[in-house]
């Protein structure tokens, strides 16, 4: 039995099967990229929050007493730096940069997969309309 395009039904079914398999593979890739992107976004938010963390409130009497009781050169330097360690700030900026790069990379990978999903949707509805 031949279809309108001159292909047999079994050939169309096989083509449909391959397209559907590719579509499901694309959906799986999108899911995996979504999970990885979520982890990168979480890391990005943590690094950003660390950078935006407010300094210690020096107006508090309790905090002032603790600082005076433990006053050393290292504590003074820590307070003068805004209660941030240089290592942690550098690491946070590095993490922020790598998370941003990773997110952009995942977006560029996922964009073509989304186009494939929409293309398969059109093929699927075409098969439904011809009676599969």
Q: pLDDT-derived band of residue 128, with 50, 70 and 90 as boundaries? A: very low
Instruction: Write out pLDDT tens, residues 88-108.
Output: 767 777 777 777 777 777 677
Cβ distance 122 to 28 under 8 Å? no
Q: Is the pLDDT of residue 42 over 80?
A: yes
More confident: 85 or 25: 25
Cβ distance 37 to 106 under 8 Å? yes
Handedness of CA 113, 117, 122, 126 (dihedral sign): positive
End-to-end Cα separation, the chain, in angstroms: 14
More confident: 18 or 132: 18
> For the stretch 29-47, what's the b/e string if a residue is b when 16 or more beta carbons lie within 10 angstroms of its beta carbon?
ebeebeeebeebeebbeeb
**Tokens standing for residue 23:** 């579509």
Give the Cα separation of 90 and 107 in Å (integer): 26
Q: pLDDT-derived band of residue 121, with 50, 70 and 90 as boundaries? A: low
**Tokens standing for residue 39:** 């982890």
The tokens 């990885």 sit on which residue?
36
Q: Is the pLDDT of residue 1 over 50?
A: no
Q: What integer is the mean pLDDT of 63-73?
A: 82
């Amino acid at each position: 039995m031949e279809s309108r395009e001159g292909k047999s039904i079994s050939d169309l079914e096989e083509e449909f099967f391959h397209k559907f398999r590719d579509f499901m593979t694309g959906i799986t890739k999108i899911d995996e990229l979504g999970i990885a992107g979520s982890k990168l976004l979480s890391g990005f938010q943590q690094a950003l929050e660390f950078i935006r963390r407010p300094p210690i409130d020096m107006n508090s009497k309790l905090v002032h007493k603790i600082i005076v009781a433990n006053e050393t050169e290292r504590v003074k330097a820590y307070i003068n730096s805004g209660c941030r360690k240089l290592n942690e700030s550098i690491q946070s900026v590095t993490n922020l940069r790598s998370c941003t790069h990773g997110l952009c990379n995942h977006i560029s990978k996922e964009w073509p997969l989304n186009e494939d999903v929409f293309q398969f949707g059109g093929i699927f509805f075409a098969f439904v309309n011809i009676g599969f």
